[in-house]
Amino acid sequence: MSSEGQVTNPRPRDDVAFEDVTDNSFVYEFGGPIGAAAMMLGFPLLMAYQFLCVYDNGGHFLLPDSFGDTGAWASRMGQRYWEIAAPSWTGARIYLGFTFFMVGLAYVCPGPVMYGYKLPSLGGQRLAYKCNALWSWWVAVVTALALHFSGLFRLTQIIDNLGPIMSVAMLWSFFLAGAVYAVTVARKAKHRASGNVVYDYCMGVCLNPRLGSLDMKLFTELRVPWPMLFFISLSCAFKQYEELGHVAPELVFMVLAHWLYANACNKGEECVITSWDIFYELESWYLLFWNLAGVPFSYCYTSIYVLKNGPMGFSIAWNALCFTLLIVGYFFWDTGNSQRNRFRMYWNNTLIKRNAFPQLPMSFIDDAKYLQTRHGNKMLIDGWYAYVRKPHYTADLVMSLSWGLIAGFGSFFPYFYLTFFLIVLVHRVGRDDARCARKYGSDWDLYMATVPWKFVPYIY
């Protein structure tokens, strides 16, 4: 391997197996068109409801007084949401300003050019990805701090305008999904389409949307959601400092937690190229809504809750337990993702050396053990992947648990991320298993026998 940002051999070998991203086996997911419509209606309503509960009601559930009060209650909820969270020019300037700032950085910041899998849909071509998310992330952090301390833009404006910003984010995701769908249909470039407009809009028909050198899927997965989440937590910390003159341990924890996650996503951008999301998933309302609106504005509930209800005053021992769970979970999550993706990159001949902080031990396995499939791919059975098939998911759940525990047990909403994430991961593992069983046949059976546990050895 070479120095930072350089590839030993910039072009991967041609003997690597094709990834069958044009898999034509179609199965309705999430209940088909009715389920898709329900998600597109339900997720925005859920986010609006949770926002009112956490931001406006101390983290307590808002419920009708009786069954007969349901209609009036819904009207009151809608009116209150419009009062404090209606889309505004301020919300649009903050959200879209940040988004387009990150787009600009994606074009101009330096970074290594990496190559993905050979794509049958493009006649075996490999797409190039300019991996400069790390530079973009740090430029964004430094710029935000400079704006805050200069007084040009106080970061506390984020938490003060969180409702309008969230509403703009939801509307923007609907618009962007519609634009991607319309352009894909006009170009007659649909992939795995059902023929039902509602379902296809929701689940996507576009495999590799691009704006010049900018890959939209990679951009929207990394460069908006996690940095935005970090800035929301940082905004809460600055707000608490303005109000109390100090920042409580629980908000220090959340700033650290969200910095670790955002930093890891961006420092390991080159590892994401070979992930399921990039090489297989379709760009869709489902992905765009959750990345651009759901992640930053649903995973921030702990930070908002501890700001509104803190300082929490927990013992040193409790805080130490939460910090320990976070750091241990982060170590296994970061190294687990690195082991898996760098194994793929090694065999794709695109492995590079990064000096981005933090580089953890056990992130790469020399001479890793694997199962060779007749399909041509290799299945990692070494490192953490010798014990369970999804160690990075387990570690992710441990971190999400710590995000809830740091807020105590006074509200469900700090545990929403853990609850939702567990449901998503179990569903995703089921999808992955079914697809791999079709793809690899008896080789998958052998892999399942070799590594029988999904998340926790001898338990599940």
So what's the pLDDT on residue 133? 95
Phi then psi for residue 379, to 5 deg, are -105, 120
Mean pLDDT score across all residues of the chain: 91
Identify the H or E element spanning 172: helix 162-186
* pLDDT of amino acid 4: 36
Instruction: Quick: pLDDT tens for 105-156.
Output: 999 999 999 888 777 777 778 889 999 999 999 999 999 999 999 999 999 9
Helix (H, G, I), strand (E, B) or coil at 112: coil
- Examine the pLDDT at 167 and tell me if it is beyond 60: yes
Q: Return d(Cα 243, Cα 265) in angstroms, integer.
A: 32
Section 58-68 average pLDDT:
95
Residue 214 three-state SS: strand
Contacts of 399 (CB under 8 A, 6+ apart): 257, 261, 325, 326, 329, 330, 333
Helix axes 162-186, 32-56, angle to 10 degrees: 160
Question: What percent of the chain shows pLDDT beyond 90?
Answer: 73
Which parts of 244-375 are beta strand (E)? 370-372
From residue 262, give the alpha-carbon distance in Å to each of 138, 229, 301, 317, 391: 10, 8, 17, 27, 19
Q: Encoding tokens for residue 136?
A: 């973009």
Q: Rounded distance, CA 457 to CA 388, Å? A: 6
Contacts of 359-363 with CB under 8 Å at 24 or more apart are: 360/331, 360/334, 360/335, 361/335, 362/335, 363/334, 363/335, 363/338, 363/339
3-state SS assignment for residue 265: helix
| pLDDT tier for residue 429 given thresholds of 50, 70 and 90 | confident
In tens, the pLDDT along 299-345 reads 999 999 999 998 999 999 999 999 999 999 999 999 999 999 889 88
Cα(314)–Cα(224) distance, rounded to whole angstroms?
32
Find the mean pLDDT for residues 269-274: 86
Q: Give the model's confidence band at 25: pLDDT under 50 very low, under 70 low, under 90 confident, else very high.
A: low
Question: Can you tell me the distance from the alpha carbon of 411 to that of 302, in angstroms, rounded to the nearest whole number?
Answer: 10
pLDDT at 101: 98
The position carrying tokens 């387009």 is: 100
Q: Report the amino acid identity of residue 171.
A: L
Residue 446's alpha-carbon distances to 28, 235, 315, 373, 436, in angstroms, are: 28, 50, 49, 10, 12
Of 203, 241, 233, 351, give the one whose Cα is nearest residue 296. Answer: 233
Q: Which residue has the higher pLDDT, 388 or 280?
A: 388
DSSP code for 113 = E
Closest CA to 354 of 102, 13, 111, 9: 111
The beta strand positions in 279-433, using DSSP E, are 370-372, 378-380
pLDDT at 92 over 90: yes
Mean pLDDT score, 3-29:
49
* Residues 6+ away with beta carbon under 8 Å from 409: none
pLDDT of residue 293: 97
The distance from CA 4 to its chain's CA centroid, rounded to whole angstroms, is 25
Q: Are strands 113-119 and 125-130 parallel, antiparallel or unpaired?
A: antiparallel
Residue 21 has pLDDT above 80, yes or no: no
pLDDT band per the 50, 70, 90 thresholds, residue 368: very high
Alpha-carbon gap, residue 188 to 259, rounded angstroms? 41
210-221: average pLDDT: 93
pLDDT tops 50 at residue 7:
no
* Top mean-pLDDT range of 18-32, 99-113, 186-200, 264-278: 99-113
pLDDT recorded at residue 353? 79
pLDDT given for residue 143 in this prediction: 98
Please report the beta strands in 355-418, taking only residues with DSSP state E, as ranges in sequence order. 370-372, 378-380
Read off the pLDDT band of 24 (50, 70, 90): low
CB 238 within 8 A of CB 155: yes
Residues 112, 341: Cα–Cα separation, whole Å? 16
Banded pLDDT at 434 (limits 50, 70, 90): confident
Structure tokens at 256: 């650290």
**Confidence (pTM):** 0.92
How many CB atoms sit inside 10 A of residue 370's CB?
16
